[in-house]
Chain A
Amino acid sequence: MTAIPLGVPRRLVEFTLDGREARVPEGSTILDACRAAGKDIPTLCEGDTLRPKNACRVCVVEVEGSRTLVPACSRTAEPGMEVRTGTERARHSRKVVLELLASSVDLSTTPRVAGWLKEYEAKPDRFGPEAARLNEEPRVDNELYVRDYDKCILCYKCVDACGDQWQNTFAISVAGRGFDARIAVEHDAPLTDSACVYCGNCIEVCPTGALSFKSEFDMRAAGTWDESAQTETTTVCAYCGVGCNLTLHVQDNEIVKVTSPYDNPVTHGNLCIKGRFGYQHVQNRD
């Protein structure tokens, strides 16, 4: 949720959403309208402070007059549009897309996806035991964060966050193409040889857990990661005068990771290496 900028009130666009009149400010997407109307459309690649890449295609809806389905996350509502969100056609595509994803990557740490798989009766197994999977080993090449591309759905959010939309470091990009496309630094080198400045903003936006704190990765491996036992406290980073907001995730009296609220008008979820990863000194109890 982004803070609503104060400005000139925008004109309203009127269109029909599942047969009912809907009115949204000009420039809103169909997804915005759906959410305002309390409709739950699954989304994976959509990110609230990033430009929608509309690559995952789980949010597709039917728009009268359009030959193909339309991604709700990126198509802006136009006056007079007739949108239907729950048709057999749209649900069929969502189901198949979920099946395709779940059969090719590990979605076990993707929030909400288990519920959608059930809701759409997706059966990823029906592609058979030989169905190609990513089968990537986690890349652990630094002490701060782990890249586990076996979980990557190629949503491009980390690339956009590292690039011109958040961080402007451009350390990672999509390399290769088709099923072989992967997120990589130049020459597919270890992160430590790249331009990465370990701001962790890519971890912040990753929707699947493909990018995670080393602390979380290690705890998951040890079986000690327990989100239900964690508390979240938002505070102000003490390192410098910018005053970014930090959300400390604490389990058993230890900080296990640090995120940042998106609705902070200064940082929109961005941090630097110190705010994101420099928490060990806090819990140094000697």
Chain B
Amino acid sequence: MDLHFGDSKPTDDERAAVDALLGPPESSWEGADRSDADLRWARGGRAARDRRDLLLPGLHALNDRIGWISEGALDYLCRRLTVPPAEAYGVATFYALFSVRPRPATVLHVCTDLACAAAGAGGLCAGIEGRLRPGSGVSVQRSPCLGLCERAPAALAVKAGDPVRTAVSAPATVEDAVLAASAPDSAPAEPPAAMAVPQAGDPSLTLLRRVGVVDPSSLDDYRVHGGYTALRRAFELGPAGVIREVTDSGLVGRGGAAFPTGRKWQATASQPDHPHYLVCNADESEPGTFKDRVLMEGDPYALVEAMTIAGYATGAHRGYLYLRGEYPRALRRLEHAIAQARARGFLGDDVLGQGYAFDIEIRRGAGAYICGEETALFNSIEGYRGEPRSKPPFPVEKGLFGKPTVENNVETLVNVLPILTMGAPAYAAVGTARSTGPKLYCVSGSVDRPGVYELPFGATLGELLRLAGVRDGLRAVLLGGAAGGFVRADEMDIPLTFEGTREAGTTLGSGVVLAFDGTVPLPRLLLRIAEFFRDESCGQCVPCRVGTVRQEEALHRIAERTGAAAADDIALLREVGRAMRDASICGLGQTAWNAVESAIDRLGAYA
């Protein structure tokens, strides 16, 4: 590789931001002043290339400290990591949270996504933009779902510096959001995670049982509340025993694809190639989803313990926690939890004295829904653009760094704790025969008590919505988020199981339940969904890259029309939607037409 770097130099601040992550450069080959030794020594080869996976953390370091990534800064980072600048530029411009153009140190992300739109985000945005004009020192950006839907409308302020400061305003008013942006340090504290759990304290809860009860910063308190009994049981059972329990429990992945977890673990564990990796997908970016955030904020050690168990069972010694870039509080809580666990021997070279080495590294996403796709996530961690890879080969065979990898989302992993403490049969007795265990739902929109709910599989949609205090005049429910589908207000007896929703011609997806009453204009909602997919397409394949644009255009044309006038465009939408579903590389393009189609077919939108 013959790398070429431009002449632009980093500022002292930029250099310091990179050096704080990578340590000072050793030679002029990676950006230090030239010494005599440099003339007789060249840095390169495999050792240098191995650091490519620090590209994303490096971009974060710059963006956090300066607020944007300049040419000189990018070049310096590339020199340090031996990454071609063109590729690093391609990576930096892939993520919404990064900017390669100068911008103010403070960015205020104002959510305009589904729940927030229903809660008046449009007016909020206009109000904020009226107050924070260009030149105010704050850049206001309209943002996809921030994962704070239970407190919609939401805004997140990020002020670059050392250290970076963040503040959340939700439910946001113009006043609060402007205050959060101008003085993030003095913004009022966020309500505790338990506020997002209306059932908090209910002794019948399994997954949410500790949220609001345990002190999320205390390992001891976690242990007092049953923490680390599952890991001890895992060591008693041995890896094969753990996999057997998980298989017998009937646990399937909660991220939307509903794949049997035990099968996945077994397939990874039995791969001859080494090392094996564990990846926890905490890039919860489906509009309307916030359950993983609440779990991580309210019970962070549970995730640390669950990852340790998953790593042990599948033969991995390193776990990557890929966390949404928009979750600053979850990041702080997990960083703390991991450091404490390490200090106390619950992570590290010899976990609990059992001779098993395991550690967890957090990687922050940077604003790209697509990185929730399992293979895009691998690319993102490795320092490439977050584009999905084509499958096969599947991750269990060739995943992160080309090695066998098991990837699970937060909710799936946290289920492993009760499986081991209750035993597989007791766990499998919860729920229905084919959808076992408890399930988390993110309920938002027109309900009195939005939040994360836990119910055994098999409860009906109506039961869940009654629990959340559904308001009068319900018009439709979006099940499974933007990639899911709408159901009508008269379909409340749909059982919330994988098979039940499938029979009803819809999907449970990631557990999103977004309720809309008649005051929310449906065409505008559909447009927002289309806009979301157009924005979040990685751009790799044609059906998705262009199809999402054509879908949005057609919806714009028919937004004000119905009946015969819309018929042509609806036919066009169907044709394009079918090709997107059939021919796109990944789930994003394949599902981008689901919600719109269901609105046309089930709700009679535009009829």
CA distance A100 to B589 in the complex (A): 14
Confirm or deny: B539 has a beta carbon within 8 angstroms of a beta carbon on chain A.
yes
Given A184-B86, A186-B6, A186-B89, verify A100-B543 contact (CB < 8 Å).
Answer: yes
For this complex, 30 residue pairs linking A to B, each with C-beta atoms less than 8 Å apart, are A54-B390, A54-B541, A55-B541, A56-B542, A74-B390, A92-B578, A95-B579, A96-B583, A97-B543, A97-B579, A100-B576, A100-B579, A101-B546, A104-B549, A154-B539, A170-B3, A171-B86, A173-B90, A176-B93, A176-B94, A177-B385, A177-B537, A179-B534, A179-B539, A186-B71, A187-B100, A189-B6, A194-B4, A194-B86, A195-B3
Q: Closest approach, in angstroms, between the C-beta of A183 and any C-beta of chain B? A: 9
Indicate if the CB atoms of A184 and B90 lie closer than 8 Å: yes
Indicate if the CB atoms of B542 and A170 lie closer than 8 Å: no
Confirm or deny: A207 has a beta carbon within 8 angstroms of a beta carbon on chain B.
no
A193 — which chain B residues lie within 8 A by C-beta?
Answer: 6
B550 — which chain A residues lie within 8 A by C-beta?
Answer: 100, 103, 127, 131
Interface residues of B in 550-593 (CB under 8 A from A): 550, 553-554, 557, 572, 575-576, 578-579, 581-585, 590
Interface residues of A in 216-240 (CB under 8 A from B): none
Indicate if the CB atoms of A68 and B584 lie closer than 8 Å: yes
B residues with a Cβ closer than 8 A to A are 1-4, 6, 71, 74-75, 84-90, 93-94, 100, 368, 370, 385, 390, 534-543, 545-550, 553-554, 557, 572, 575-576, 578-579, 581-585, 590
Q: Closest approach, in angstroms, between the C-beta of A20 and any C-beta of chain B? A: 24
Indicate if the CB atoms of B535 and A178 lie closer than 8 Å: yes
Determine chain A's interface SS by DSSP, over half rule: loop
Indicate if the CB atoms of A154 and B545 lie closer than 8 Å: yes
Confirm or deny: A130 has a beta carbon within 8 angstroms of a beta carbon on chain B.
yes
CA distance A70 to B201 in the complex (A): 49
Which of B85, B90, B541 contacts A56 (CB under 8 A)?
B541
Determine chain B's interface SS by DSSP, over half rule: helix
Chain B residue, CB-CB nearest to A193: B6
Confirm or deny: A168 has a beta carbon within 8 angstroms of a beta carbon on chain B.
yes
Confirm or deny: A153 has a beta carbon within 8 angstroms of a beta carbon on chain B.
yes
Indicate if the CB atoms of B90 and A96 lie closer than 8 Å: no
Confirm or deny: A275 has a beta carbon within 8 angstroms of a beta carbon on chain B.
no
Indicate if the CB atoms of A96 and B553 lie closer than 8 Å: no
Confirm or deny: A135 has a beta carbon within 8 angstroms of a beta carbon on chain B.
no
CA distance A185 to B578 in the complex (A): 35
CA distance A95 to B542 in the complex (A): 12
Confirm or deny: A172 has a beta carbon within 8 angstroms of a beta carbon on chain B.
yes
CA distance A127 to B75 in the complex (A): 42
CA distance A170 to B581 in the complex (A): 33
Indicate if the CB atoms of B590 and A68 lie closer than 8 Å: yes
Chain A residue, CB-CB nearest to B568: A126
CA distance A163 to B94 in the complex (A): 19
CA distance A177 to B90 in the complex (A): 9
CA distance A186 to B83 in the complex (A): 12
Indicate if the CB atoms of B541 and A68 lie closer than 8 Å: no
B575 — which chain A residues lie within 8 A by C-beta?
Answer: 92, 96
Confirm or deny: A139 has a beta carbon within 8 angstroms of a beta carbon on chain B.
no
Given A126-B572, A170-B86, verify A103-B546 contact (CB < 8 Å).
Answer: yes
Interface residues of A in 180-228 (CB under 8 A from B): 180-181, 184-189, 193-195, 197
The 6 closest A-B pairs by CB, nearest first: A195-B4, A170-B84, A181-B539, A96-B579, A173-B90, A186-B85
Given A177-B537, A179-B534, verify A93-B583 contact (CB < 8 Å).
Answer: yes
Given A55-B585, A187-B71, verify A92-B579 contact (CB < 8 Å).
Answer: yes
A77 — which chain B residues lie within 8 A by C-beta?
Answer: none
Q: Closest approach, in angstroms, between the C-beta of B382 and any C-beta of chain A? A: 14
Confirm or deny: A241 has a beta carbon within 8 angstroms of a beta carbon on chain B.
no
B535 — which chain A residues lie within 8 A by C-beta?
Answer: 178
Given contacts A96-B579, A178-B537, A186-B86, 5 further A-B contacts (CB under 8 A): A55-B542, A56-B541, A170-B1, A179-B548, A184-B86
Q: Which of A153, A172, A173 counts the most chain B CB atoms within 10 A?
A: A173
Q: Which of B86, B542, B579 counts the most chain A CB atoms within 10 A?
A: B86
Indicate if the CB atoms of B2 and A179 lie closer than 8 Å: no
CA distance A131 to B554 in the complex (A): 9
Which of B74, B541, B543, B553 contacts A130 (CB under 8 A)?
B553
CA distance A54 to B585 in the complex (A): 8
CA distance A74 to B391 in the complex (A): 10
Confirm or deny: A89 has a beta carbon within 8 angstroms of a beta carbon on chain B.
yes
Indicate if the CB atoms of A173 and B390 lie closer than 8 Å: no
**Number of A positions contacting B (CB below 8 A):** 55
Indicate if the CB atoms of A131 and B90 lie closer than 8 Å: no
Which of A127, A174, A178 contacts B572 (CB under 8 A)?
A127
CA distance A28 to B539 in the complex (A): 28
Chain B residue, CB-CB nearest to A173: B90
Confirm or deny: A69 has a beta carbon within 8 angstroms of a beta carbon on chain B.
yes
Q: Closest approach, in angstroms, between the C-beta of B72 and any C-beta of chain A? A: 10
B370 — which chain A residues lie within 8 A by C-beta?
Answer: 177
Given A96-B543, A101-B546, verify A175-B93 contact (CB < 8 Å).
Answer: yes
Q: Which of A95, A103, A181 counts the most chain B CB atoms within 10 A?
A: A181
Indicate if the CB atoms of B4 and A60 lie closer than 8 Å: no
Indicate if the CB atoms of A153 and B6 lie closer than 8 Å: no
B390 — which chain A residues lie within 8 A by C-beta?
Answer: 54, 71, 74
Chain A residue, CB-CB nearest to B1: A168
Interface residues of A in 38-58 (CB under 8 A from B): 53-58
Q: Closest approach, in angstroms, between the C-beta of B369 and any C-beta of chain A? A: 11
Confirm or deny: A165 has a beta carbon within 8 angstroms of a beta carbon on chain B.
no
Indicate if the CB atoms of B582 and A131 lie closer than 8 Å: no
Confirm or deny: A132 has a beta carbon within 8 angstroms of a beta carbon on chain B.
yes
CA distance A179 to B543 in the complex (A): 11
Interface residues of A in 48-86 (CB under 8 A from B): 53-58, 60, 68-69, 71, 74
CA distance A92 to B580 in the complex (A): 11
B89 — which chain A residues lie within 8 A by C-beta?
Answer: 173, 175, 184-188
Confirm or deny: A142 has a beta carbon within 8 angstroms of a beta carbon on chain B.
no
A189 — which chain B residues lie within 8 A by C-beta?
Answer: 6
Q: Which of B548, B557, B579, B583 counts the most chain A CB atoms within 10 A?
A: B583
CA distance A179 to B88 in the complex (A): 20
Indicate if the CB atoms of A57 and B543 lie closer than 8 Å: yes
B585 — which chain A residues lie within 8 A by C-beta?
Answer: 54-55, 57
Chain B residue, CB-CB nearest to A57: B583
Indicate if the CB atoms of A169 and B541 lie closer than 8 Å: no
B542 — which chain A residues lie within 8 A by C-beta?
Answer: 55-58, 97, 100-101, 153-154
Chain A residue, CB-CB nearest to B8: A187
Confirm or deny: A9 has a beta carbon within 8 angstroms of a beta carbon on chain B.
no
Given A68-B590, A172-B86, A176-B93, verify A131-B545 contact (CB < 8 Å).
Answer: no
Confirm or deny: A5 has a beta carbon within 8 angstroms of a beta carbon on chain B.
no
Indicate if the CB atoms of B2 and A177 lie closer than 8 Å: no
Confirm or deny: A19 has a beta carbon within 8 angstroms of a beta carbon on chain B.
no
Chain A residue, CB-CB nearest to B590: A68
Chain A residue, CB-CB nearest to B535: A178
A53 — which chain B residues lie within 8 A by C-beta?
Answer: 540
Q: Closest approach, in angstroms, between the C-beta of B530 and any C-beta of chain A? A: 13
Confirm or deny: A7 has a beta carbon within 8 angstroms of a beta carbon on chain B.
no
Indicate if the CB atoms of A93 and B579 lie closer than 8 Å: yes
Which of B74, B94, B385, B582 contacts A68 (CB under 8 A)?
B582
Q: Which of B94, B543, B554 counts the most chain A CB atoms within 10 A?
A: B543
Indicate if the CB atoms of A178 and B539 lie closer than 8 Å: yes
Given A131-B550, A132-B553, A187-B71, verify A55-B540 contact (CB < 8 Å).
Answer: yes
Chain A residue, CB-CB nearest to B579: A96
Interface residues of A in 13-50 (CB under 8 A from B): none
Indicate if the CB atoms of B582 and A89 lie closer than 8 Å: yes
A69 — which chain B residues lie within 8 A by C-beta?
Answer: 582-583
Confirm or deny: A128 has a beta carbon within 8 angstroms of a beta carbon on chain B.
yes
